[in-house]
């Protein structure tokens, strides 16, 4: 595996929203931490000047919280170069090659629509810009299994697998990384982390806003492709994987891929799709759109550890809270010694990972009230993880990619295995069900989980902020 550090960063789509919202603040943070000193070559179609790009960077940083280090800002903009051109024109890649000068190990970051990935990757190969280089590809990596395989085929025709970095910013979040650490750094959960003691697992990623100005993108993706197949599946893999055989991330990738391979392919009745009221009136949304802005699904992992345990995943827009959390619900004690601990009157013990907007872990256990009666309440014990000064996901992932560290990136086999799980419901799913803004989705989502209880709806007041 190539471990040399990239000596240039080429950002395709540098004038786009992703660069403005996420990439520029990450690059600024990298410069402040002395992690970035190489040229940054922005590539896009608009006929901009370098001054235009520098102003765009300044606007981005001011909106992201302000410029608190003028020297770092000066250093950042001094690294910038701009190349304007059409991605379909070989002359654009010739200009990039000339601009790179003596750089021999660039990292090419594709912050562009997925439909342009093959065009740019092929252009890089034809221009001789792939040798000794890396390519960083934004999700979604494909729209289904066939397109993911085709994209992998295109990428492998130009880059070796260890030079392809499939970026999912969720994997760069501190709280997500802590799932892996918490599971395997502590021995007290391992004996119960299996089908014998876990009744079900719930994962919720809720957003309290709509598609905003991303109607055209959402029409091409939908919630299942945009969030569940990648973000939520990655969380499932970290929760469900077996311990890696050795202390290196290649072994982690192997175990995560095994989880996807063990997932039972979804069927239409395993999935509830919803659409919030008013979605069809959003800009660039079809008047008769059946694209889901919410989905809930029931998933099974047919492995020795998890056989028979239902995993419930849901995500959606215009829900009551902006939150992301995991609930691992345990089976109740084998005998109801106390009247108030019967399943009909109380919820079983559980472990909760709060992943956003704040980070924390909570364990729920029943505690007796004062008095002679054996009556109690379920209380949560908190382990708050939030720390100041954490790297942002994009800062961490871009730094890792440029350093040749693929630990937090997704591998080819895992991508294709995850698409294989959702493939059966991509073509002929049940129609979308309407739901009101500010609710937890259509009622059919409650019916989906009814056999195993109810959804645990995140409340931002549940854990310390």
Residues with a known catalytic role: 231
Residue 98, number of CB atoms within 10 A of its CB = 9
Tokens representing 408 are: 């937090």
Instruction: Sort 319 into a burial class: Cβ within 10 Å, 0-12 / 13-18 / 19+.
Output: buried
CA 20 to chain centre: 19
Instruction: Sort 299 into a burial class: Cβ within 10 Å, 0-12 / 13-18 / 19+.
Output: buried
Contact present, 47 and 86 (Cβ < 8 Å): no
Tokens representing 404 are: 């040749």
Contact present, 55 and 18 (Cβ < 8 Å): no
Tokens representing 176 are: 């997500």
Cis peptide before 357 (omega within 30 of 0): yes
CA pair distance 179, 166, nearest whole angstrom: 20
Name which of 172, 167, 44, 20 is nearest 107 in CA terms. Answer: 167
Tokens representing 341 are: 């601990």
CA pair distance 349, 198, nearest whole angstrom: 10
Q: What are phi and psi of 326, to 5 degrees?
A: -120, 135
């Amino acid at each position: 595996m190539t471990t040399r550090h990239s000596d240039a960063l080429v950002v395709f789509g540098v004038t786009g929203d992703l660069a403005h919202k996420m990439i520029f603040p990450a690059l600024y943070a990298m410069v402040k931490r002395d992690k970035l000193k190489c040229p940054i070559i922005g590539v896009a179609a608009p006929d901009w000047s370098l001054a235009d790009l520098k102003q765009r960077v300044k606007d981005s940083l001011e909106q992201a919280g302000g410029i608190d280090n003028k020297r770092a800002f000066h250093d950042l903009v001094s690294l910038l170069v701009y190349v304007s051109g059409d991605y379909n024109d070989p002359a654009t890649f010739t200009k990039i090659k000339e601009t790179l000068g003596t750089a021999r190990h660039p990292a090419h970051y594709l912050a562009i629509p997925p439909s342009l990935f093959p065009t740019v990757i092929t252009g890089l190969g034809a221009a001789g810009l792939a040798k000794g280089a890396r390519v960083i590809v934004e999700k979604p990596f494909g729209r289904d299994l066939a397109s993911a395989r085709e994209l992998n085929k295109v990428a492998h025709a130009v880059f070796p697998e260890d030079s392809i970095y499939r970026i999912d910013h969720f994997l760069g979040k501190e709280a997500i990384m802590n799932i892996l650490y918490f599971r395997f750094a502590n021995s007290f959960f391992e004996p119960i982390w299996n089908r014998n003691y876990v009744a079900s697992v719930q994962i919720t990623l809720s957003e309290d806003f709509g598609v905003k100005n991303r109607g055209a993108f959402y029409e091409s993706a939908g919630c299942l492709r945009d969030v569940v197949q990648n973000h939520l599946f990655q969380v499932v893999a970290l929760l469900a994987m077996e311990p890696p055989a050795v202390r290196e991330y290649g072994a982690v990738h192997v175990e995560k891929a095994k989880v996807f391979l063990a997932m039972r392919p979804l069927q239409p009745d395993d999935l509830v799709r919803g659409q919030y009221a008013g979605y069809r009136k959003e800009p660039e949304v079809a008047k008769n759109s059946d694209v889901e802005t919410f989905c809930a699904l029931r998933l099974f992992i047919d492995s020795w550890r998890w056989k028979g345990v239902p995993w419930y995943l849901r995500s959606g827009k215009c829900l009551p809270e902006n939150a992301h959390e995991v609930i691992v619900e345990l089976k109740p004690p084998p005998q109801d010694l106390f009247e108030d601990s019967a399943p009909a009157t109380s919820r079983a013990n559980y472990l909760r990972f709060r992943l956003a907007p704040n980070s924390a872990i909570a364990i729920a256990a029943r505690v007796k009230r004062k008095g002679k009666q054996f009556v109690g309440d379920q209380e949560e014990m908190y382990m708050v993880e939030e720390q100041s000064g954490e790297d942002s996901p994009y800062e961490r992932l871009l730094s890792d990619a440029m350093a040749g560290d693929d630990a937090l990136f997704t591998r080819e086999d895992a991508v294709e295995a995850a698409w294989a799980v959702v493939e059966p419901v991509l073509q002929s799913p049940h129609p979308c069900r309407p739901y009101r803004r500010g609710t937890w989705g259509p009622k059919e989502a409650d019916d989906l989980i009814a056999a195993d209880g109810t959804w645990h709806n995140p409340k931002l007041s549940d854990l310390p902020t």
